[in-house]
Chain A
């Protein structure tokens, strides 16, 4: 009961918003053409689900997102730790990271389309590039902050220098790496949808833009709602995973 009550209080602003969304277009306060009532959006959502539009386009989007994000994480961690551990890598890469960091990632989408075409490759490249820097910076800061004595302990126990990277530096940097990945996860949704909105034949961004252009606003809102919900759930799930992975922090 208490749990129900706290949930109710926490999400009551959402409920109010949902009620307003339903009522305002019906009373004509807002033009129902530009904002269809929530019930119409819900009907459209079930229609999209039944017809398989959500499954096909959702899976296509998730696939590109997962590939781009995974590439960004793996390459980002390797680059970030190498920068912290090998001076020449730092000298080479660090200025690039600093210069590129403030660049709005979505500005790169047209470039990616120019280089990798209209298909999945350009979407993956956009997600990858967007995710790379937060992960690099997290891994770099985390690896630089590793306590000297932890490295010494491993060396005294007989670890080789390269083993120390895997045994000590990577796990010690993990809190900052995981925080970087959380930023990357949020960015990956933004970049993927932006790229799909711009030009594509599949994906949630494509679905949203084609309904928008065709005037099917209830279906368009259903698509927007789906992307937001999946993004929110992905972040929640990630936080749970992160809490488990860092349970040693006490």
Chain B
């Protein structure tokens, strides 16, 4: 059985978190399962048109307990998406609760073609 130190990221498996993507007329919503991660261990970035989610959960063996077998180890999570919609970079929102990361990318809405006519 392989065991690793959670403080040495290089020894941990890196997996793609299970992710859902939803779309509304106003936004793209990306929801990823990152159990063990919290605000301090999550990183969300948007570079050019690539959205990248990273999480490095720090969950140690409980103090005073000895490992007795495991079917899983909390890994590092990393996944990137190419975003095709025109995104408002100022309106990027991200939050994490119960190991669920939720990122909202607001679309840049097309400007109205309506022309204001000033009365003189």
Q: Do they bind each other? A: no
